[in-house]
C-alpha cells in the first residue's frame, strides 16, 4: 500500500498524505522540504503567511523530482481580499515559489467580520486564476457551513477543498459535513493537534494494539475518514514515522473510539473562523 490519490470535484488528483510547513523558519524550510521529498512525500502545503514559499520552491526545483509529480498548495494572506490585491498577492506567490504554477490556491481565512464579509468576491477572484492554468485548482480554508452556503448561493463555482482544523479532540463535524454535502474534500489541519493528542490514553492503547505510535494511529484515523492531511515535522525520523501509515488498517470500532474523543468547540486549538480577523503587518 502507498499514498492514495483522491480526486477533487474538478477531476484533478491530490495525494491524500502530504507535508505541511507552518512554523518552519525560512532558513530551515529548504532542508525540511528536500528531506520530505526524499522520504517520499509528493504534496507540500505552504502559505504566504508562513513566509517560506521561496524556500519551498527552491527545494522543489533542486530536488530532481519532476514538477508534475509534486502537488503544491499555497494560500492568499489575510491582508489581500480585495480583488486587485488578491491578484497581486497571487502573482507574488507564483514568483516566490518559481515553479510555474500552483496545484491549489486557497482563501486562507474567510474574515467574515472584515471587508464587509465579502469573501464571495475574493472567491470569484481566485476562480480567475484557474483560467490560464496558473492555479490548477482553487479552494477555501477555515470556511464554516454558512460561508460555504453563501458561495453556493451567490456563485456558480464550488471550492475543490475546505482546509479546516480537524483532529481527535476537534472533529469539526458540521464543517466536514457541509463540505462533503457539496462534494468538497476536507483537508484536516493540525492533524495531531500539534502533538496535543498523542498522550491520550485511548489513542495510546490503540497504538499499542497495532504496534504503531500514537501519531501514526491518529494520522491513519484521518486517512480512513477520507480527509487529506499534511503533518509538519522538522525531524527526519518523524517525517518517516508520519509517512509509514500503509501497513495497518484500523477497525471500524477503533475509528469510532477515536472519533468519540471529540470535545466540540472546547477541543479547538486554533482561532475560530467566525471571529478571526488577524491581518499581518
Ligand atoms: N489553513 C490553516 O489555517 C492552517 C493550516 N495548517 C497546515 O497544516 C499543517 C499541519 O498542522 P500543524 O499546525 O503544523 O500541526 P501538526 O498537527 O502537523 O503537528 C506538528 C507538531 O507536531 C510535532 N510532530 C510531528 N510529528 C510528530 C510525531 N510523529 N510525534 C510527535 N510529535 C510530532 C512537530 O514537531 P517537530 O517539528 O519538532 O517534529 C510539530 O510540533 C501545517 O504545517 C500547515 O501546512 C496548520 C494550521 C492552520
Ligand atoms: O497556520 C496557518 O495556516 C494559520 O492560519 C495559523 O497560523 C493561524 O493564523 C494561527 O494560528 C494564528 O494564531
Instruction: State yes or no: ipTM above 0.90.
Output: yes
Q: What is the dihedral of CA 147, 152, 154, 155, to 10 degrees?
A: 120
Within 63-159, strands assigned E span 71-76, 102-107, 135-141
State how beta strands 5-7 and 102-107 pair. unpaired
5-193+226-232 folds as TIM Barrel (3.20.20)
Say what percent of the chain tops pLDDT 90: 98
Catalogue the active-site residues. 50
Check: CB of residue 165 under 8 Å from CB of residue 172.
Answer: yes
pLDDT of residue 14: 98
pLDDT of residue 117: 76
Q: What is the dihedral sign for C-alpha 223, 127, 147, 140? A: positive
Where is average pLDDT lowest: 80-89, 93-102, 111-120? 111-120
In tens, the pLDDT along 34-93 reads 999 999 999 999 999 999 999 999 999 999 999 999 999 999 999 999 999 999 999 999
pLDDT of residue 135: 98
Atom of ligand 2 nearest to the CA of 270: 11
Q: In what order do the strands lie in the sheet with 135-141?
A: 19-20, 43-45, 71-76, 102-107, 135-141, 161-165, 185-189, 228-229
Is 81 marked as binding a ligand?
no
Q: How many CB atoms lie within 10 A of CB 105?
A: 28
Looking at all shown ligands, the one closest to residue 271's CA atom is 2
In tens, the pLDDT along 176-185 reads 999 999 999 9
Name all residues whose Cβ lies below 6 A of ligand 2.
Answer: 22, 47, 49, 108, 270-271
Burial (CB < 10 A; 0-12, 13-18, 19+), residue 99, is: middle
Residue 232, all three cell numbers: 509538519
In tens, the pLDDT along 149-172 reads 999 999 999 999 999 999 999 999
Residue 100, all three cell numbers: 510555474
Check: CB of residue 170 under 8 Å from CB of residue 267.
Answer: yes
Atom of ligand 1 nearest to the CA of 141: 1
**Looking at the whole model, is its pTM more than 0.95?**
yes
Ranges of each domain in the chain: 5-193+226-232
Amino acid at each position: 500500500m502507498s499514498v492514495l490519490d483522491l480526486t477533487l470535484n474538478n477531476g484533478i488528483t491530490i495525494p491524500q498524505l502530504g507535508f505541511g510547513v507552518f512554523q518552519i523558519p525560512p532558513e530551515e524550510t529548504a532542508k525540511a522540504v528536500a528531506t520530505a521529498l526524499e522520504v517520499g512525500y509528493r504534496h507540500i502545503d505552504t502559505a504566504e503567511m508562513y513566509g517560506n514559499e521561496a524556500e519551498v520552491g527552491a527545494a522543489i526545483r533542486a530536488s530532481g523530482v519532476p514538477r508534475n509529480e509534486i502537488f503544491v498548495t499555497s494560500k492568499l494572506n489575510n491582508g489581500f481580499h480585495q480583488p486587485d490585491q488578491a491578484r497581486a498577492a497571487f502573482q507574488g506567490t507564483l514568483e516566490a515559489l518559481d515553479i510555474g504554477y500552483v496545484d491549489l490556491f486557497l482563501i486562507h481565512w474567510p474574515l467574515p467580520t472584515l471587508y464587509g464579509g465579502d469573501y464571495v468576491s475574493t472567491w470569484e477572484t481566485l476562480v480567475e486564476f484557474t483560467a490560464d492554468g496558473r492555479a490548477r485548482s482553487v479552494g477555501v480554508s477555515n470556511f464554516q457551513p454558512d460561508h460555504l452556503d453563501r458561495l453556493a448561493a451567490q456563485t456558480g463555482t464550488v471550492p475543490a477543498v475546505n482546509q479546516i482544523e480537524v483532529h481527535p479532540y476537534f472533529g469539526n463535524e458540521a464543517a466536514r459535513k457541509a463540505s462533503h454535502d457539496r462534494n468538497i474534500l476536507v483537508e484536516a489541519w493540525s492533524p495531531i493537534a500539534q502533538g496535543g493528542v498523542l498522550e491520550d490514553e485511548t489513542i495510546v492503547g490503540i497504538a499499542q494494539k497495532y504496534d504503531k505510535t500514537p501519531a501514526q494511529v491518529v494520522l491513519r484515523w484521518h486517512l480512513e475518514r477520507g480527509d487529506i492531511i499534511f503533518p509538519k515535522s522538522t525531524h527526519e525520523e518523524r517525517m518517516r514515522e508520519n509517512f509509514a501509515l500503509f501497513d495497518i488498517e484500523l477497525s471500524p470500532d477503533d475509528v469510532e473510539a477515536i472519533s468519540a474523543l471529540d470535545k466540540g468547540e472546547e477541543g479547538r486549538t486554533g482561532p475560530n473562523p467566525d471571529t478571526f480577523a488577524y491581518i499581518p503587518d
